[in-house]
């Protein structure tokens, strides 16, 4: 197998669900998400991406996507259930998101998690050339850094956690807590979205493993593992340019007309997940209609909620609850030709998403907990007109970088209602000033700035050369 100097290891390959008979596919770019974040960095960069192709069984033969060589890792139906739906998304995901839902523990899930992580590590060891840089992504693969180091001590290993990392009192509930920490500490650099997460990690390294640690590094035997915050961003220029295209602006005008040309449009774009605060947002909107603060025909809510993880029962039940609430709101407040909520579950392509951002008078991003939330940043990048207001949860990582947004505690229903009204009724000059400040921040902290900070910290030997390749226009 041909080897690479840059290897990305992630749970999923960045490809669409439908593969052609010859193995060709296209890069999958959903709102936010890992593949969207890394797309501008890797599209023109020779690299290998290791991941699952999205269907059980033997690994298919896949053609390259751009300059990225795809290396699929096989997974059985049972492993998909126990590793992905089980340990990753029913044990780790809820606990890492402040236990919004109760984490579930099954010993067989851990066995599958370990087995799959070892398979990914072995694949990386095979395709990485001597002294390569291997960049491991996210909570599905926390054991890979240590397993890979045992196989290939010559490579430089980075690990980046895209989701929140919990405080010690939550993390210590995990039955396999020490193994997970040791797995991450196999890396040379462990990156988080926020400084608080790095602090939590350092505390655990000290209290659980007895290691010498600060918020910047951990000593592991004769190695120094660096840790730190590297808040991820987006390709600001790409989204800004897309949102100014004449066809996108025309589509935005058409979308607004299709909505009945209301005075104000609230937009929310989420993956269907209990961490996203969709139910709380819908309840706040319903109560504002009940209170007479908002009126159907003048204001409309567009809720995009793309289903995911449908194999997990709590996600199916969440979707049922959301759809019942949407039906209730439309049944009680809608009129013929005037819906209170437009509910969409299909994924949007990039131009359609940019048009939707341009329609929004308020973009509501109100997760109960979120590592970053790139939808909020995409919205700001799309608003070159400096119009529109961002309603943003205090518990999204993006809130630390976008303090000019209308910040809200989504657990406080009355506060959510008040702040939504504040955003809807903002003076244009105030909204424009807020948007200008957020756009200035994003232009200085785009996806390339994120890569520059992370890769330079990861590899002082090859960092500049690698950085030049992955950030070239």
Residues of the chain with pLDDT > 70, as a percent, come to 93
Q: Which helix (H) or strand (E) holds 170?
A: helix 168-171
The answer to whether the beta carbons of residues 225 and 217 sit under 8 Å apart is yes
14 band by pLDDT with thresholds 50, 70 and 90:
confident
Q: Tell me the Ramachandran region of residue 26: left when phi exceeds 0, alpha when psi lies from -120 to 50, beta otherwise.
A: beta
Weakest mean pLDDT among 18-22, 23-27, 226-230, 333-337: 18-22
Q: Give the mean pLDDT of 24-29.
A: 62
Q: Give the mean pLDDT of 336-357.
A: 94
The string of pLDDT tens digits covering residues 257-301 is 999 999 999 999 999 999 999 999 999 999 999 999 999 999 999
Q: Please say if the pLDDT value at position 23 is more than 90.
A: no
Weakest mean pLDDT among 37-51, 104-118, 370-384, 411-425: 37-51
Fold equal for 4-232+447-470 and 236-444 = yes
Per-residue pLDDT at 33: 66
Question: Other CB atoms closer than 10 Å to residue 306's CB: what's the count?
Answer: 16
Q: What angle do CA 261, 266, 272 make, to 5 degrees?
A: 125
In CATH, the number for domain 236-444 is 3.40.50.2000
Distance of alpha carbon 99 from alpha carbon 120, whole angstroms: 28
Per-residue pLDDT at 35: 73
Q: Given 82, 138, 188, 370, which residue is catalytic?
A: 370
463 band by pLDDT with thresholds 50, 70 and 90:
very low
Structure tokens at 110: 């851990």
Q: Please say if the pLDDT value at position 32 is more than 60.
A: no
Q: Please say if the pLDDT value at position 328 is more than 50.
A: yes
Per-residue pLDDT at 16: 62
Distance of alpha carbon 145 from alpha carbon 157, whole angstroms: 7
Per-residue pLDDT at 3: 81
Q: Given 39, 81, 140, 162, which residue is catalytic?
A: 162
Per-residue pLDDT at 473: 43
Average pLDDT, the chain: 92
Per-residue pLDDT at 61: 85
Q: Which helix (H) or strand (E) holds 289?
A: helix 278-290
Pairing mode, if any, of strands 223-229 and 217-220?
antiparallel
Residues of the chain with pLDDT > 90, as a percent, come to 81
Pairing mode, if any, of strands 4-12 and 128-137?
parallel
Map residue 30 onto helix, strand or coil: coil
CA 72 to chain centre: 21
Distance of alpha carbon 40 from alpha carbon 443, whole angstroms: 15
Is the pLDDT higher at 337 or at 420?
420
459 band by pLDDT with thresholds 50, 70 and 90:
confident
Q: What angle do CA 186, 189, 191 make, to 5 degrees?
A: 115
In the chain, domain spans: 4-232+447-470, 236-444
The string of pLDDT tens digits covering residues 118-164 is 999 999 999 999 999 999 999 999 999 999 999 999 999 999 999 99
Q: Check if 411 is active-site.
A: no
Architecture of domain 4-232+447-470 in this structure: 3-Layer(aba) Sandwich (3.40)
Q: Please say if the pLDDT value at position 470 is more than 70.
A: no
Is the pLDDT higher at 396 or at 308?
396
Per-residue pLDDT at 235: 92
Per-residue pLDDT at 188: 97
Per-residue pLDDT at 337: 82
Q: Please say if the pLDDT value at position 445 is more than 50.
A: yes
The string of pLDDT tens digits covering residues 383-440 is 999 999 999 999 999 999 999 999 999 999 999 999 999 999 999 999 999 999 999 9
For the residues of 237-283, what is the DSSP string, one character each?
A: HHHHHHHTSHHHHHHHHHHHHHTT--SEEEEEEEES-GGG-HHHHHH
Per-residue pLDDT at 333: 97
Q: For residue 399, with 0-12 CB atoms within 10 Å meaning exposed, 13-18 middle and 19 or more buried, which class applies? A: buried
Q: Check if 370 is active-site.
A: yes
The string of pLDDT tens digits covering residues 188-247 is 999 999 999 999 999 999 999 999 999 999 999 999 999 999 999 999 999 999 999 999
């Amino acid at each position: 197998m041909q080897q690479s100097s840059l290897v990305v290891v992630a749970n999923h390959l960045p490809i669409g669900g439908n593969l052609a008979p010859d193995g060709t596919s296209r890069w999958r770019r959903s709102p936010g998400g890992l593949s969207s974040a890394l797309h501008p960095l890797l599209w023109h960069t020779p690299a290998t991406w290791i991941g699952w192709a999205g269907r059980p069984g033997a690994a298919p033969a896949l053609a390259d996507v751009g300059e990225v060589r795809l290396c699929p890792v096989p997974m059985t139906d049972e492993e998909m259930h126990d590793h992905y739906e089980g340990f990753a998304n029913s044990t780790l995901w809820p606990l890492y998101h402040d236990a919004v839902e109760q984490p579930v523990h099954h010993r067989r899930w851990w066995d599958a998690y370990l087995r799959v992580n070892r398979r990914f590590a072995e694949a990386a060891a095979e395709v990485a050339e001597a002294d390569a840089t291997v960049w491991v992504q996210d909570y599905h693969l926390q054991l890979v850094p240590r397993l890979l180091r045992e196989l290939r001590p010559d490579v430089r290993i980075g690990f980046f956690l895209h989701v929140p990392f919990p405080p010690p009192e939550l993390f210590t509930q995990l039955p396999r807590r020490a193994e997970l920490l040791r797995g991450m500490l196999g890396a040379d650099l462990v990156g988080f979205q926020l400084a608080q997460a790095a602090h939590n990690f350092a505390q655990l390294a000290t209290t659980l493993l007895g290691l010498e640690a600060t918020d910047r590094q951990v000593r592991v035997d004769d190695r120094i593992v660096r840790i730190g915050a590297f808040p991820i961003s987006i390709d600001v220029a790409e989204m800004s340019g897309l949102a100014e295209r004449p066809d996108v602006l025309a589509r935005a005008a058409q979308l607004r007309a299709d909505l009945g040309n209301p005075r104000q449009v609230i937009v929310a774009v989420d993956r269907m997940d209990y961490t996203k605060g969709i139910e709380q947002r819908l309840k706040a909107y319903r109560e504002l209609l009940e209170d007479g603060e908002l009126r159907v025909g003048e204001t409309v809510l567009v809720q995009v909620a793309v289903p995911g993880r449908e194999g997990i029962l709590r996600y199916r039940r969440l979707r049922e609850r959301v759809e019942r609430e949407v039906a209730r709101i439309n049944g009680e407040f809608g009129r013929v030709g005037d819906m209170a909520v437009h509910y969409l579950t299909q994924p949007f392509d990039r131009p359609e998403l940019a048009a939707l951002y341009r329609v929004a008078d308020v973009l509501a991003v109100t997760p109960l907990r979120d590592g970053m939330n790139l939808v909020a940043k995409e919205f700001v990048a799309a608003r070159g007109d400096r119009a529109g207001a961002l309603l943003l949860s205090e518990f999204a990582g993006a809130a630390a970088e976008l303090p000019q947004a209308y910040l809200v505690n989504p657990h406080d229903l009355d506060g959510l209602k008040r702040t939504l009204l504040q955003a809807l009724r903002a003076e244009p000059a105030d909204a424009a000033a807020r948007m200008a400040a957020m756009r200035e921040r994003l232009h200085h902290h785009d996806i390339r700035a994120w890569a520059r900070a992370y890769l330079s910290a990861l590899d002082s030997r090859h960092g500049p050369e690698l950085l030049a390749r992955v950030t070239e226009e």
